Structure 1
Amino acid sequence: MDAFTTLVSRTVVLRERNIDTDQIIPARFLTTTERQGLGRHAFSDWRTRSDGTPDLDFPFNRPENADARILVAGRNFGCGSSREHAPWALTDLGLRAVISSEIADIFRSNALKNGLLPIVLDQDVVDELIDRPGIELKIDVARRVIVLPGGNTVEFPLDAFAQTCLLQGVDQLGYLLGQDDAIQRFEESRRAA
């Protein structure tokens, strides 16, 4: 996973509330453990019409959103079943951050383990972002702030361990493996004692 220090990107907006993991990546696409390629199935049931053609009104089908890396979504994003495929699909789609006023705990945990930053902000801030799709934001993980157009900043919560993993570009196992020397020293001192 790539280190996540700062991100400057336009936003793509999904106004809907209660976007669950089956809407993010429908169950019929959970037949693989490969992460690559899942992005084409993200929001599949919303992105395509019943005849299989793309719904050009859906935000991720619009050309102006092709390079957007920040999703701003309605309240209670990522609810539903626990499936790591959801953040896999979103990162393969090109996203690095999801902003909402509420993000489901299991989705949040899965997202952080896969380099997708879930950001919870006050509802009034999220409403303002939803009303201004396509604006450019800067996310600074080290400072835990979002820089809004005009330079104002909004702080977001992020626990220290998740922040460290994002900044180093490692998941929990990668972090532990990076501590191998310290673990070996501890084990040797323990045997000696």
Structure 2
Amino acid sequence: MEKFSTLTGVAAPLPLINVDTDMIIPKQFLKTIKRSGLGVNLFDEMRYDDEGKEIPDFVLNQPAYREAKILVAGDNFGCGSSREHAPWAIADFGIRCVIAPSFADIFFNNCFKNGILPIVLPQEEVDKLMDDAGRGANAVVTIDLENQVIKGPDGGEIKFDVDPFRKHCLLEGLDDIGLTMEKADAISAFEAGLGASRPWTAPAA
């Protein structure tokens, strides 16, 4: 998993509440088990019409936000089903931070496992960032995970909280597999000791 330390990029405003995972990545795109290739279908039903043409008014179709790295959203973001394809699609598009007043629990947890930083802020601070994000290409925001600070385009700063363990995992680029591999030596030593004390468990020569 790619490390997350400091992220600077355009923030896209999505002032909608209760954005569920089917809105993020509709069910017809869940056939794949790959984490790549889903970005083009992120918010598919809002981005494209019935003929597959882009809807110009949707924020991520607007030139200023096509390469947005941060999403400022409404309350209860990521509700609905537990599909992990939702954070896959967000990450594949290039968004690595989502800011909202609240998140659905499963989506929130899945974000950390996929290198995305979900930040919970009071509504008034989200409103300020939403206003900043409305500046288009000038909506450049910096997320400093180490110092837990969001720096807005006007130089203002907003502090945010993050669980220390999850912060460590993002800073070091550790997903569940990476966390396990950190203990590779201990696992190997345990397996060696187990083989010595229980020879019948050792693989046949």
TM-score for the superposition, normalised by structure 2: 0.87
**1:170 alignment counterpart:** 174
- Residues 58-87 of structure 1 show CA distances to partners (whole Å, capped at 9, x for unaligned) of 011111112210000111100010000000
- Report which stretch shifted further, 130-139 or 67-76: 130-139
Q: Which runs of 5+ in 2 are unaligned?
A: 198-205
Distance 2:46 2:152 in 1: 29
Alignment-derived partner of residue 151 in structure 2: 147
What is the CA RMSD across the aligned residues, in angstroms? 1.9
Distance 1:43 1:68 in 2: 14
Aligned residues: 192
TM-score normalised according to structure 1 size: 0.92
Q: Secondary structure at the match of 1:103?
A: coil
Measured after TM superposition, the shift of residue 51 of structure 1 is 3.2
Deviation, structure 1 residue 181: 2.4
Q: Report the alpha carbon displacement of residue 189 of structure 1 after superposing the two structures with TM.
A: 8.9
> C-alpha separation between the residues in 1 aligned to 2:189 and 2:148?
33
Q: Secondary structure at the match of 1:18?
A: coil
Match of 1:36 in 2: 36
CA displacement, residues 102-157 of structure 1 (integer Å, 9 cap, x when unaligned)? 11110011110000111111100101111222421111111122122343322212
Corresponding residue for 1:88?
Answer: 88
Contact 1:24 1:42 in 2 (8 A): yes
Q: Which 4+ stretches in 1 moved above 4 angstroms?
A: 182-192
SS at match of 1:17: coil
Q: Distance in 1 between matches of 2:142 and 2:14?
A: 19
Q: Secondary structure of the equivalent of 2:36?
A: coil
Q: Is the 8 A contact 2:132 2:153 kept in 1?
A: no
Tell me the distance in 2 between the aligned counterparts of 1:110 and 1:26. 17
Structure index of larger Rg:
2
Contact 1:42 1:89 in 2 (8 A): yes
Who is 2:99 aligned against? 99
Unpaired runs of 5+ residues, structure 1, are: none
Instruction: Determine the C-alpha separation between the residues in 2 that align with 1:34 and 1:18.
Output: 26
**Structure 2 match to 1:13:** 13
Question: Which residue matches 1:131?
Answer: 131
What is the one-letter code of the residue matched to 1:149? Answer: P
Output one character per residue of 1:155-187: Cα deviation in whole Å (capped at 9) or x when no partner: 212111111111111202211211222455677
Identity value in percent: 47
C-alpha separation in 2, matches of 1:144 and 1:49: 39
